Amino acid sequence: MAFYFNENEEGYAASLMGVDLAVVASIVSAVPEHRRHVTILSGTLPQYKFVSDKQILKNVVDRLLGRSVPAWTTIQSDDLTRVLSTIDIVAFVVDGLIPPDAREVHRLLTTTTGYLGAIESLPAETIGWVIYDNSLPARYRIVGKELRIFYRKAEFDAGADRDEMPMEAFRESGLVARVIWEDTGMRDSYFDPYKTLEHAQTSAEVEVMVTNQMTGVVNEIFLRAAQLDPRLVKYLHGAFKSFERIDTSDALAHAALSCRRFIENLANALYPPREGKINNRLLGKAEYRNRLWAYVQDELSSNSQRQLVLTTLEDVGNRIDKLDTVANSGLHSDIDQIETRRLLVGLTTLMYDLLTLTEPPLATPAAPYNDYARETMTEMLRTDPD
């Protein structure tokens, strides 16, 4: 996502470091700490390469705003053409924002000196690589509570200067808990063989393919869960919503509890409680994990496949127990947030594995609807005058 600023606006030069601080402050505010990892490139766009020819400028605008796949932007086509051809633009290109976060960053920046708006950088577009990746230097990385400022250690050790202004400004700002240097080594240097359009396009293709695959997994989960028991969607909503803002031990406890409730109800739908034992394991209402084990063993004939799913089940169960223990003891630390994120990934994998072990049922199960149907019938009979 590229955030544009008018370098010629009165007061912009005087607030140059202030703009860097504003961009970082907006990201820190918009993105929850437990999933905050972005890199930031910034600098003046190389507009001289295309503003002299109107047709080239039009092509640049069309590509920036999206041709076959429209880009999200707050800048209209005519406005972008005008600003590219009349003023100098400083762009802050942030990699690692999901769309809701990017929109919130934009909202927070609207009062910042010289701010023009935001444009989504489409991964498949060559122009993005030309005017952003290949033209703007990498400045910062934000990881959780930490801000890293890029530099080349080898050049610094050889006597080159290192800009200390950002380090001092960010430390004084208190926006993050820690500000340190990060050595970029040979990345983005003359000796970097991956600083090419071909590598950028390969990376973009991989990103698109992985996104498509993960979207397919999510779609499959929702289709199957909704048919099996619509209540699972409600429990799933509670589990995922808990992850959005985990900043206290109470929130951590709620996240662990939501995940546990979802798995319990998933077990109820896939393998309802019953009397007796399997492999010396009870299968009552409280033994939801045992019932999921029994379900996997019933549905899978391949031992290797079965072991893989059971290992995931055991791992997710252990993570829930660990988070529950930490939350109940009143503790809270960075590792708890990392564990919570891993739990989310593990829960998603487990859902997909369990729900796809069998084909969707040919008839919608009645259990999720029984209570409401009885209540409705009772009300109808109570109000029927005959």
Helices (H) then strands (E): counts for the chain? 14, 9
Give the tens place of pLDDT for each residue, 250-283. Answer: 777 777 778 888 888 889 999 999 999 988 889 9
Specify the pLDDT at position 335.
47
What average pLDDT does this structure show over 220-243? 85
Tokens found for residue 149: 């400022």
- Average pLDDT score over residue span 161-169: 93
User: How do residues 46-71 score in pLDDT, each as one tens digit?
Assistant: 988 887 778 878 888 887 876 656 67
Token pair for 132:
């952003």
Instruction: Give mean pLDDT, residues 186-199.
Output: 90
Least confident of 216-220, 258-262, 366-370: 258-262
pLDDT at 148: 98
Q: β-strands 89-95, 37-44: how paired?
A: antiparallel
- DSSP, collapsed to helix, strand or coil, labels residue 250 as helix
Mean pLDDT across the stretch 134-156? 95
User: Mean pLDDT, the chain, as a whole number?
Assistant: 86
Say if residue 106's pLDDT is above 50. Answer: yes
CB atoms within 10 A of CB 286: 11
Please state the rounded mean pLDDT for residues 118-140: 86
Long-range contacts: 62-65, Cβ < 8 Å, 24+? 63/125, 63/126, 63/127, 63/128, 64/119, 64/125, 64/127, 64/128, 65/119
Q: What does the alpha-carbon distance between residue 15 and residue 66 come to, in Å, rounded to a whole number?
A: 32
Lowest mean pLDDT among 13-22, 40-49, 257-266, 315-324: 315-324
pLDDT at 356: 87
CA 286 to each of CA 140, 290, 295, 299, 326: distance values in angstroms, whole numbers, following the listed order: 49, 9, 15, 22, 22
Least confident of 98-107, 119-128, 250-259: 250-259
Position with higher pLDDT, 175 vs 125? 175
Using the predicted structure, report yes or no on whether residue 326 has a pLDDT greater than 60.
Answer: no
In angstroms, what CA-CA distances link 242 with 36, 236, 316? 16, 10, 16
- pLDDT-derived band at 93 (thresholds 50, 70, 90) equals very high
The region that residue 140 occupies, defined by phi over 0 for left and psi between -120 and 50 for alpha, beta otherwise, is: beta
pLDDT for the residue numbered 241:
80
β-pairing, 2-6 vs 89-95, is antiparallel
Considering the entire predicted model, what is its pTM? 0.83
Q: List the structure tokens of 13.
A: 């030069």
Q: How confident is the model at residue 348 (pLDDT cuts 50, 70, 90)?
A: confident
Output 65 or 365, whichever has higher pLDDT: 365
Closest C-alpha to 30, from 105, 139, 118 = 105
Higher pLDDT, 355 or 40: 40
User: How far does CA 201 lie from the centroid of its chain?
Assistant: 21
- pLDDT at residue 114 is higher than 50: yes
**pLDDT at residue 203 tops 60:** yes
Report the range of poorest mean pLDDT among 41-50, 128-137, 309-318, 352-361.
309-318
Residue range 121-145: mean pLDDT, rounded = 87
Give the mean pLDDT of 127-135: 88
Is residue 25 predicted with pLDDT exceeding 60? yes
What is the distance between the alpha carbons of residues 18 and 367, in angstroms, rounded to a whole number? 59
| Confidence grade of residue 330 (pLDDT, cut at 50, 70, 90) | very low
Q: SS3 for 226?
A: helix
